[in-house]
Chain A
Amino acid sequence: MKRFVLRRLGYAALTLILLSLTIFLFVRVTGDPTVLLVEPGASRADIEALRHDLGLDRSLFVQYLGFVKDVIRGDFGRSFYYRTPVLELYLSRLPNSLLLAAAAMAFSLLIGIPSGIIAAVRVNGWWDSAGKIFALLGLSMPSFWVGLLLILFFSVYLGWLPSSGSGTVWHVLMPAFALGWYFAAAHMRLTRSSMLEVLGSEYVKLARLKGLPEALVISKHAFKNALIPVMTLAGINLVLMVNVAIVVETVFAWPGIGRLIYEGISFRDFPVVQATVLMNGAMVIVVSLMVDILYAVVDPRIRYER
């Protein structure tokens, strides 16, 4: 077990280093940000001074080492555009992103789990087919289009909900729905197949043989066990949501991390892009590391693989 955890930690650390190197190199290829920062008529000396200030005149390797050293100390540099520390910017946007992701997750589970259970219990019935069509649509409709349609219907025609911004509960509803839509379909599919597997198992057969009412068999014996893989996926998806929210946040002008990345890219704001993409990638790495270790704790067979 110890060896397994150590090896996984090693892999995660290596992936993190490769990630930081990849991002760093890609960002440096983007072009010179000083051109965007100085006034149009600035002299060559001014530009050079600014480049020196930002550390852009040093060699790539020195810049990378400096970058890693700073990151370890929690210093992601200053935003070129906002002129504030990037970490502050990131942390100020993070609650909004998490709020949106949590709302979208709640929505996707509320839709996905019950419909998945019904589809599994009434397998090959009408409900199951409707569920399949819902899942297919969920996976085929881009979230930003769903968002635009929602604005069209609820803001423009009915005038019930605000089309952009944040602050009240009403602002969260539409972005959460648009973002959760895709994941609801994914959760439904997993709940269904996981329920089907559990319903075919020996202990469910035994529960039925004991003469327990079907509702109790499903709710008490089958559902609890079927929920484990769904909750695992939901955990990973929560992290993914923060990431895929870029387009939805842009549609609804929601001030989260996704918009921060988008702004960083449009303003050529190196430190912001670097930090947000790195933090988001790191989040994914850490969560999948945790899932791997948790699984190994639960299932000893995994520890001895590879």
Chain B
Amino acid sequence: MSSPREVSAGIDRTKIRLAVLGILIVVAFVSLFSRLWFLQVLASDQYRQQAQANRVRRVYSEPARGRIVDDNGKVLVTNRESKSITIDHNLLKRPRVERKVLVRLSDLLGVKIKDIKTRINDVTVSPYKAIPVVNDVHNHDILYIEEHQQLFPGVGYDRIPIRKYPQGDIAAPILGYTGEISADDLKSSHFKGAQPPYQPGDVVGKAGIEYSYDRDLRGTPSVRKVIVNSTGDVVGSREVQPEKPGLDVVTSIDTKIQRLTQQALTEGLAAAHGSGYLAPGGAVVVMDPNTGAIKAMASYPTYNPNVFANGLSEKEYKALGAATPNNPDDDALFFRPTQAQKNPGSTMKAITAGAAMWTGVANPYTVLGCPPDLTIPPGGGPGSVIYHDYTTADLGSMGFPESLEVSCDTFYYQLGYDMQHQFGVSGYEGVEPPGSSPHTSDWGSIKTLKYLPAGTEKFQQYARLSGLGHTTGIDIPGETNGLVPDQKWCHDSYLATKNTQYPTCALGWQPGYDVNMAIGQGDLLVDPLQMAVAYAAVANGGNVMQPRIAWALARPDLAGVEHNVKEFQPHVVNHLGLDSTALGVIQQGLQLVVTGPSGTATSAFAGFPLNQYPIAGKTGTAQIGNTGLNDAWFISYAPATNPQYVIAVYIEKAGHGGESAAPVARQIYEGLFGIDKQITAGSGHDVSG
């Protein structure tokens, strides 16, 4: 030991050194404290949100989907419960166990492992719900699984609502079907912005009424907040929004009429086959001409929607579609009433007649000849074309009624030409008009077309007014526009196809286009529903109606009686603008088609009590290009004096309208009016074009 003084000095130095250590420790404390202050006081909200996001997931239930009922309250679509085997997501974290379990499940239930895997890998299923892998499982299988849980870890069972179609294939394509929402659906405007928003895994309408009214049918799902731990296991949940079942959709479909219609179409096709026609498909529309209410729509071939409800694989779905691309002949998913785009043939003449009177090239009393052929432009010359009637006989002079009865082509060629000549294209500004010869310029090369002032292509205007060339606005998806060809379309198509498909358009809008359109040939394309709408307007005094299937949203009470929550009203889209005299001659002509001695549908309705239930209609036999084949049409309404139904029948590749289409309509009318079938009908005889 040193002297006390030295010790003292040493002690003092030690104290200073301890103080240095103390300061270091204080610095450590200060830094910890400031960090703590930052985390827990300054940035706490941000971390609280992150903690929340870590553990809270929202899970949506599927509420009971609304039903779809017919005009009389008969249920077309409802729900049933399926006992389904489910697989927990946790099982998927243990691939070896999963494989063993899947093998056992496959053996027990007789389901292919591949099919179970497909269900598991369906990315649209919510990751916080057990995945239903096999539907409609037997009770004894469920019992077996429950008793042998050690063999089936992570396998559960759930009751899952499945869409049921009690009427089988009745109105299948109209009702549509449901399926899990796709990524594209989620982005589409139809599903976007709904409250509450659509979620992956939601079952939604994929077609038909199911699609159009999905927001009403789906109901409000219950929302559960689910707490998960770090490995994603659910450890608790709380309901934040109660479930509200979907609304029922009340349609104007009448199951009886729909069944009748489907049957008539099938039998009509069979009859056409019997007559040696290909007749691969057809369509029928039955509508109330006064309101636009769709009573029935049939398309052939068709499918049974129950197959969709049980979960259709991609392959099975494809099998329903067309066997050869771009040929919808055998496509069960192709809904002909709103999607078949075809020449209407002579059924167009009722519209052409209206157009002629609307434009003023004719009046109700106009009389024209019906020669075997007609040269257009009159007087002939270079560029002129001779158009033939379907018969070589000269039928003499006639007015509108008779022209419709005998379906005179030359009569309507004349009107088509007159409309084109007076109100159609007369030329481009500063360029020689078409039809003047010789042509000195290539019309198609003129990029900047100066279209004629609005209102000059009056035939086209009237056709559109009648409901052609654009969608009718029916409340199911997939409707096509059809086509009312005009100058602009001709020029655009010519340029778009680089003169390959529409060579004559190089010369501008030719008179022949309107002449062909006048008898429903050429480039004019319509679907059966559009024709039904156009004829309904003729029948009801000129109102072009928007066709509609659903007429109310309703909630059933405990007794099952529907109480409307919302009702839809008939909507008049346009008025034809023809007075009763003008409409009268058309209506008269349409009645003569069925009753007149030379009517093209007279033989088809032979023996039908026409005095009691007068029918008005028009046959159509549309040539399919140069194939020699014809599409058969018959558009009609009844009773002619007080129209209740308009029926459009279209039979593909089945000869004449009076022969193949009119009998189908007749069969439906017989059913509608309760006419005894014993009164035999001649199998329609029709030779018109």
**A and B from one complex:** no
